Amino acid sequence: MDIETFLQNESQHPTDYRCGFVAIVGRPNVGKSTLMNHLIGQKISITSKKAQTTRNRVTGIYTDDTAQFVFVDTPGFQTNHRNALNDRLNQNVTEALSGVDVVVFVVEAMRFTDADRVVLKQLPKHTPVVLVVNKIDKDKAKDKFALEAFINDVRQEFEFTASEAVSAKHGLRIANLLELLKP
């Protein structure tokens, strides 16, 4: 693309074109990396059954006609032991959260633990936090009433701006989530 075409394309963006930073947080294994891979449509983060695979903050970018999302994947909060590595991981999380426009707090459907609560306690108070209930494809989440009750219970734990139930693995309701994050 030559510079004139580029500038012409740029000027065609609507004046309300939005751009923002999105931090994805949650305890290990809730599906943060899987979610980010689906959000940006390419595999650049690391997913694994083993906790703590993602040791560095990874940034992905998703652009569409009306908005640009800059995603930050985080290693998750390490709560069991204090050691140099875990301190670094926690520091990365704190760094990732400072100055973002919206935080996405991911939990696993039908499973809210003390480790989730620890992460919630460390979230910024003046930044919008969107609750994402992931893994709704799992058998235990198939009961719609039970899932709704679970989401309501988690919503009691924190003042979330909004919530969405998704399956990162199967790409379910990911588009809904992006729409919800736009404002």
76 binds ligand GDP (CB under 6 A): yes
Q: Does 167 bind Mg ion (CB under 5 A)?
A: no
Q: Which of 22, 23, 25, 30 binds ligand GDP (CB under 6 A)?
A: 30
Q: How many residues bind ligand GDP (CB under 6 A)?
A: 20
Burial pattern 77-107, b for ≥16 Cβ within 10 A else e, equals bbeeeeeeebeebbebbeebbeebebbbbbb
Residue number, 100 or 174, with CB nearest to ligand GDP = 174
**Vertex 52: Cα angle to 127 and 141 (nearest 5):** 70
List 86, 112, 169, 180, residue binding ligand GDP (CB under 6 A): 169
d(CA 54, CA 27): 12
**In 52-113, which residue ranges form alpha helices assigned H by DSSP?**
84-97
Cα separations in angstroms, 52 against 46, 86, 107: 10, 9, 16
Instruction: Specify whether the CB–CB gap between 182 and 67 falls below 8 A.
Output: yes
Nearer to ligand GDP, 111 or 128 (CB): 111
Restricting to residues 54-73, name those near Mg ion by CB under 5 A. 54
Interface with ligand GDP includes 173 (CB under 6 A)?
no
Residue nearest to ligand GDP as judged by C-beta position: 31
Beta 67-73 vs 58-63: how paired, if at all?
antiparallel
Q: Using CB under 6 A, which residues numbered 98 to 137 contact ligand GDP? A: 134-135, 137
Interaction site with ligand GDP (CB under 6 A)? 26, 28-34, 47-49, 54, 76, 134-135, 137-138, 167-169
Interaction site with Mg ion (CB under 5 A)? 32-33, 54
